Amino acid sequence: MTVLKTQFESCPGGLIPMKRRSWALKAGATSTLVALAMQLSMAFAQDATEPAAPAVDTSKWKCKFCEFEEGWYSDITLGLGQVSDDSYKFGEYNGLQESGTYLIGDASARYRSEDATYLDLSVADIGLDTRSLAIAGGRQGSFDLFLSYHELPHYISDSASTPYLGNGGDVLTLPAGWVRSSTTAGMTALDASLREVDLKTERKRLGTGISITTESPWSYEVDLRHEDKEGNKLTGGSFLFSSAQLVEPVDYVTDEIDAAIAYTTKRLQGRFAYYASTFSNNNDSLTWENAYTPIVAGADEGQLALPPSNEFQQLTLSVAYQINDHNHLSADVAVGRMIQDERLLQATQNTLLAVPPLPSDRANAEVETTNSRIQFVSMPADKLRLSAVYSYDERDNKTPQLMYDWVSTDAVVAPQRSNLPYSYTRDTFKLKADYDYARGTRLGIGYDIDERERSFQEVDKTNEDTLWGSIRVRGVDTLFLEFKLATSSRDASASEVVAAIDPPQNILMSKYNMADRERDTFGVFASFMPGPEYTVGFSLDRALDDYTGSELGLSDSIDNSVNVDVAALLSETTSVNVFIGRQRIKSTQAGSQNFAGADWIASTDDTFDNFGIGVTYVVIEDRLDIGADFSVARSTGEIELNSGASAPPFPDLRTDLEAIKLYLNYRLDENLSWQAAYWYESYDSSDWAVDGAAPDTVANLLSFGQQSPDYTNNVIKLALRYHF
């Protein structure tokens, strides 16, 4: 071993002899230890008595992530899938609502050139109602263009039936020979007149845009979106106390534009943006015939207003400035305006009722919005980070307040009412401090204030204060822990009767979002790696709400959830992941059926359980791999009602979901692979409110007779994937 050629080391005071090293340690100079360790390492590495290490041949080293792509790279997947059964619930959003064979068609292509020109193409789900297309291209760092198309279905129900004709349009009529009655049991033509109706909507969304980046600090972007939404959904109408479920037509058109100019330098960033949205409904109203014997003469036809056409525009300015290396300031302000000027419907379709004309034939609705935020972040010390955020939000409803004569369900002329132009303001202030207490340990503390003022509400003001703290501990690559505690108190102004609300709300009623509330929350998250092959995650959350001053309404609630997930690499060819979780929400509320004090109390207990396990196995390296996933989700809802009367308890609400997914990928050659998959899913639910209820089960409700969804479905997929 060679002798050190120098007997000195560096320290904050310069060079000191090695024999005085103990003095340097007492001085606490950490840099001295680091420098000494580096010098010793270099000294041992320079031992001239041992042969020098052979030179490493790096000529064959290759970084596959460092290569610059050039030219075309494409993937095409073609195949067939088979769905065993029809089910709107199974295919609610995935497009697999019908049994039978469907085409599997996915493709992607990308092009790169030396001058940074690029093009990306993708097509997905070509054989389903969820198909999509996306094209993006341009020159990186200069400009980007995109064009996209998506179809987004929502299959709502396939178990509804109705006697009405014209479903999907804005006029519903009853079939010839319809027999009216005061109850559904007396509608003798009902069974023969029922016809199935599917409730579903489909959105077709087209988008395009361009962004331009210049060598100067300025950049520009414009995005345009157009969406058509068609179909139908559930609604209802009534004549006094007799109601019917109806099919509401959906024929919407929405157009949006986003445009922005941005300025970016090292210390200053700014962005000015414009957003506009226009919504059009091709149906102003829904008219339907009265299926019941009219209690009031002339109440033969009803009319409902549908969502009105409207528009919204907003201007936004955002600025961020780095004052110095330790202080940063940012601010945002957005002002918007919503207008709705659709022609108002007449008060009734009943021509036998004498109703004065409307005070205005249009709504002339206008709402102005203001949203602003300013944030200051400072690091006064290396281990301390402070931030303060103030936000102000305002909704100023400028719609004229007029007195309207109105008719209750086309049967009774009611006293005049005024429209209520609801407005509110909200001020929030948040303070936060993070301190690196020790290596890998960070302490956090914060204080939040939330103040709100409302108009035309039973409670004018609410003030909520929240104090929270957190501890984050990070081990050496193997452990991460986070604990967070918070306590908040919300104080509401005295509840008052709003004269403009008719009929008035019970003065003892406290709406949960405007009531006095004490809330305590606790959360813990842990991630642990006992070895390089294993990862364990754990989370626990608890929230306790106490509405101490509420005589009627929600009085308390408890929300507990726990989740555990484990991932393991059992071998070079086998990996497993497991998750299990439970959430339980309990609440109690009081109500009054006599417009007085509490005369009934209801308690709810909702439980959600989830479990899943997934396994992947490489049978032949770079050739064959298989996998399996199994998951279970169960929920139960229990309702207990104490009203002092003897009544049977409500049955439990229940949902069970089980799913098994198997897949196999076999690589035939460098470019071609074969894919196979099997998906089994079983869903079972029960809801006492609808199960067993036919269209005529309730005397004064002509219903769709929908039942809780249940299904068992099997899906098989076979496809070839070609890469070139």
- Render 355-377 in DSSP notation, one character per residue: -PPPS-SB--EEEEEEEEEEEEE
3-state secondary structure of 321: strand
Does residue 24 fall inside a structural domain? yes
Distance, in Å, from the CA atom of 715 to the CA atom of 710, rounded to the nearest integer, reads 16
Does residue 23 fall inside a structural domain? yes
pLDDT reported for residue 12: 35
3-state secondary structure of 140: coil
Record the tokens describing residue 623, joined without a space: 């050739």
pLDDT reported for residue 531: 86
pLDDT reported for residue 78: 97
Range of the domain at 26: 8-45
pLDDT reported for residue 269: 97
Q: Which of 184, 244, 199 is nearest to 97 (CA)?
A: 199
3-state secondary structure of 366: strand
Does residue 30 fall inside a structural domain? yes
Residue numbers in the chain where pLDDT is lower than 50: 1-53
**Tally of domains in the chain:** 1
pLDDT reported for residue 7: 34
Question: Which residues make beta-bridge pairs with 583?
Answer: 561, 608
* Residue ranges with strand state E in 475-516: 479-492
Give the largest CA-CA distance in the chain: 116
Does residue 287 fall inside a structural domain? no
pLDDT reported for residue 11: 38
**Contact status, residue 163 vs residue 705, Cβ threshold 8 Å:** no
Distance, in Å, from the CA atom of 112 to the CA atom of 121, rounded to the nearest integer, reads 12
**Contact status, residue 312 vs residue 336, Cβ threshold 8 Å:** yes
pLDDT reported for residue 2: 35
Record the tokens describing residue 222, joined without a space: 């414009």
Distance, in Å, from the CA atom of 133 to the CA atom of 208, rounded to the nearest integer, reads 12
pLDDT reported for residue 645: 75
Does residue 375 fall inside a structural domain? no
pLDDT reported for residue 644: 77
- Terminal CA-to-CA distance of the chain, rounded, Å? 58
CB atoms within 10 A of CB 151: 16
Does residue 250 fall inside a structural domain? no
